[in-house]
């Protein structure tokens, strides 16, 4: 439902006091259907790593050279995923910005999960020349940035090793390895490819044999190395299925029940507000 990119966490927060908003100089190079996707800029104003950030929509131009799109700070709303956080204050202090990012999404920013009508699925190419800040009435805001910002030292970003070191010990040593077994993107794609082949008539043994031949012939592995890798993948898939079973039986039903309960409350509130 979405695809995004963000900066690594800054070593120290960036002070954008005096700016009126962000700009992104970009163009949609893949097609002319920019309006059939939801584009968002993101600001993180604390040092957390959760999904709660400030976001604002923008519309990139389609085709041609990149041109700036201006997004004032007043447009940013606090969201959790695509859903606004009710009662959250607007952006009023940008003296400590910890992260900047952008997202292409299927969902508009709303008080509930609201998909975009006529959404275009599939690949896209957004060409980005620059992301920065601007101040209204400043002729140099795009060319070189405001003087107060250009004169400041860049904050720098944390390395991957530093980011991992800042994580809690329990998360690093236990939870993340377990989640990697269950929710790895590579394993998810491999599992989906296996499901498609099974639907076309392949057996489990044929899948294992194809995996071994792929490693043996295309990756130029030795017989024993390819057999070992195939055995590791099979063991990892079995461990992932075993560890994911409690989540499928206990955790996911609870999440679905909470989502249905929230939807019923929202529907009741909407019906009550629309009643004469």
pLDDT tens per residue, range 189-222: 777 888 888 888 888 788 878 776 776 665 666 7
Alpha carbons 214 and 210: distance in angstroms, whole number: 6
Q: Which of 199, 185, 193, 236 is nearest to 214 (CA)?
A: 193
CA distance 34 to 26: 12
Specify the pLDDT at position 183. Answer: 60
* Average pLDDT for the chain: 79
Structure tokens at 214: 């792929």
DSSP 53: E
Three-class SS state of 125:
coil
Under the banding of pLDDT at 50, 70 and 90, the label for residue 116 is very high
Sign of torsion, CA 139 143 145 147?
negative
* pLDDT the model gives residue 145: 44
d(CA 75, CA 28): 22
pTM tops 0.75, yes or no: no
Residues forming CATH 2.60.120 domain(s) in the chain: 2-166
Query: Class of the 2-166 domain?
Result: mainly beta
Q: Which of 99, 118, 6 is nearest to 46 (CA)?
A: 99
H/E stretch holding 68 reads strand 67-72
CA-based end-to-end distance of the chain: 37
pLDDT per residue over 158-196, tens digit each?
Answer: 777 776 776 666 556 555 665 665 566 677 777 788 888
Q: Which residues contact 121 (CB under 8 A, 6 or more apart)?
A: 106
Share of the chain above pLDDT 70, in %: 71
Give the sign of the dihedral formed by CA 126, CA 129, CA 135, CA 139: negative
pLDDT class of 108 with cuts at 50, 70, 90: very high
pLDDT grade, residue 154 (50/70/90)? low
Concatenating the DSSP letter of every residue in 208-227 gives: HHHHHHIIIIIS---HHHHH
Q: Contact, 54 vs 78, CB < 8 A? A: yes
Decide if pLDDT at 74 tops 90. yes
Question: Dihedrals φ, ψ of 146, to 5°?
Answer: -60, 150
Q: Is the pLDDT of residue 241 over 70?
A: no
């Amino acid at each position: 439902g979405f695809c995004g990119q963000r900066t690594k966490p800054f070593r120290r927060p960036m002070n954008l006091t005096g700016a009126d908003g962000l700009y992104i100089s970009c163009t949609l190079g893949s097609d002319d259907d920019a309006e059939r996707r939801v584009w968002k800029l993101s600001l993180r104003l604390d040092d957390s790593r959760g999904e709660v950030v400030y976001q604002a929509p923008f519309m990139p131009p389609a085709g041609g050279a990149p041109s700036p799109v201006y997004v004032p700070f007043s447009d940013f709303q606090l969201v959790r995923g695509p859903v606004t956080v009710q009662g959250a204050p607007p952006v009023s202090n940008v003296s400590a910005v910890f992260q900047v990012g952008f997202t292409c999404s299927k969902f508009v920013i709303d008080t509930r999960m609201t998909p975009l009508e006529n959404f275009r699925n599939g690949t896209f190419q957004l060409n980005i020349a620059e992301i920065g800040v601007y101040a209204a009435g400043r002729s140099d805001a795009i060319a070189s940035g405001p003087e107060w910002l250009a004169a400041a030292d860049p904050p720098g970003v944390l390395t991957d090793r530093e980011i991992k070191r800042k994580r809690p010990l329990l998360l690093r040593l236990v939870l993340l390895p377990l989640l990697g077994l269950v929710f790895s993107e590579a394993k998810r794609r491999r599992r989906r490819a296996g499901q498609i082949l099974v639907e076309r008539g392949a057996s489990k043994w044929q899948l294992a044999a194809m995996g071994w031949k792929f490693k043996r012939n295309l990756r130029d592995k030795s017989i024993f190395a390819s057999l070992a890798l195939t055995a590791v993948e099979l063991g990892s898939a079995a461990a992932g299925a075993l560890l994911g079973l409690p989540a499928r039986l206990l955790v996911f039903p609870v999440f679905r029940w909470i989502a249905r309960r929230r939807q019923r409350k929202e529907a009741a509130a909407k019906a009550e507000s629309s009643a004469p």
